[in-house]
Structure 1
Amino acid sequence: MMQCDLPRLAKHYSVPLVMNDRVVEIMFNTGTLSTMRFLTALQQKQPDAVEPVSRQLFYRLFSSHQDVAQPDSLRAAAEAAGLSADVTAAALTDMLSEEVKSRLKSVTDEAVKLGAFGSPTFIVHTEDGRQEMVFGSDRFHIIGDLLGVEYKGPLKHLAKL
């Protein structure tokens, strides 16, 4: 997966993904709990900031192999995403609160209860009220089927590669 499938997906979607031992070390040994808490704090007060900050954290980890857990790293990602110093400082403070820790634990418990086992995991709510779990970035067409819509997909011109 990490040597063939992920690079293939990265090429297909034009995502700057470069796997190496540093990425594995950060993800599995250093951990990302503080990163998740930071994003949870942003979600609570600045929900529109979550996507751009997540994108910057992705670039730091998977493209330039930089830390994504230390406060200075979180600050740098937020700054690169265009957040003000005040918003970033508030999120860095809030991420230590019991409210944020509890929210992250609750969301994680819900994901485990639903059977999530990796990322990305999607819970699709169908028109007839069912919940269907779909795992993987290569399954968007299945999500389209479950929702009864055609998936046209990004970057279709790359699919012939």
Structure 2
Amino acid sequence: MAGKITAYLDCVSLYSWFALLQLEKNREKLASHNVELDIVPVFLGGINVGSGNKPPWTLPAKGKYGKYDVKRAMKYFGTPNMKTPKNFPILSLLPQRALVFIKTKHPNLLVPTLLDFFRALWEDGLDISKPDQVAQVLSKRYSEADVCEILEKANSPECKQALNDNTKEALAKGAFGCPWFIVKNSKGEEEPFFGSDRFHYIWDFLQLPWKDFELLPGQARLWQSKL
């Protein structure tokens, strides 16, 4: 194995959505380089409390700047229908615990379901902290019996403890927010990465072939060079 990317994500984190879109965009390329990808559901609220971090909107200057940053990110990551949910921030414990169970029982549907949760919250404005709203999202991919089982298991002591353990694991590895990554390269070295705009650093750490951002010349400059 050339490397491994462990991504700690929460559906309440908009930038976790952007990060997952980027990872999925490159999943096949990563596999071609024998890089394993592991998605780990965590509770961002617990990470913030455990690390002493505060949500960006609680600082007025960050909140003011965030409007520009989100607009730019929406364009870059291709999410034109994204909007801030009316009840934001929601308590994401239920959907995250559901994802913990799904990862065990329906591993191939973990990423599609997480993407469904992102869209439901950030595009449709559903309050997926509520069981009926979670059930509505799950019904797109699961049978009625499976939906009932997922909701039941999400409230089980086992899934509650598993999400707590995932969150503590992220904190132990230095997390102070989401998306948080622990990346292991072919030498067995590990480093942390934070945010949805650090993938060029991750590719470099994994020693993967990649192209840097490149500014293209304008037509005026091209015309002058011919004189």
TM-score normalised by L of structure 2: 0.61
Partner of 1:70: 130
Match of 1:110 in 2: 169
2:88 to 19, 23, 26: 26
Q: Is the 8 A contact 1:40 1:103 kept in 2?
A: yes
In the TM superposition, what is the alpha-carbon distance from 1:21 to its structure 2 partner? 6.2
The answer as to 2:65 corresponding to 1:5 is no
Partner SS, residue 3 of structure 1: helix
User: 1:120, 1:137 within 8 Å by CA — same for their partners in 2?
Assistant: yes
Which runs of 5 or more structure 1 residues have no equivalent in the other structure? 157-161
Q: Can you list the C-alpha shifts for 1:117-139, whole angstroms capped at 9, x where unaligned?
A: 22111110012221111111111
Q: Contact 1:2–1:19 at 8 Å: present in 2 too?
A: no
Q: How far apart, CA to CA, are the structure 2 residues paired with 1:152 and 1:77?
A: 37
Question: For 1:100, what is the secondary structure of its paired residue?
Answer: helix
Structure 2: distance between partners of 1:50 and 1:21: 23
Q: Is the 8 A contact 1:7 1:18 kept in 2?
A: no
Determine the structure 2 residue equivalent to 1:39.
99
Structure with the larger strand share: 2
C-alpha distance in 2 between matches for 1:79 and 1:31: 21
How far apart in 2 are the matches of 1:147 and 1:119? 21
Q: 1:151 to 1:120 in 2, by over 3 A?
A: farther
2:139 counterpart SS class: helix
Stretches (4+) displaced over 4 A: none
Partner of 2:189: 130
How far did residue 150 of structure 1 move?
Answer: 2.4
Query: Which residue of structure 2 lines up, in the alignment, with residue 59 of structure 1?
Result: 119
Residue 86 of structure 1: which of 136, 145, 149 is its match? 145
Please list the CA deviations of residues 66-124 of structure 1 after superposition, one character each: whole Å capped at 9, or x if unmatched: 211111111111122x2222221111010111111111111110000111122111110
Q: Percent identity?
A: 30
TM-score by length of 1: 0.84
- Structure 1 contact 16–62 (Cα < 8 Å) conserved: no
Structure 1 residue 152, shift from structure 2 partner: 5.8
Change (3 A) 1:133 1:72: same
In structure 2, give the amino acid aligned to 1:143: I
| Structure 2 residues not aligned, in runs of 5+ | 1-64, 214-227
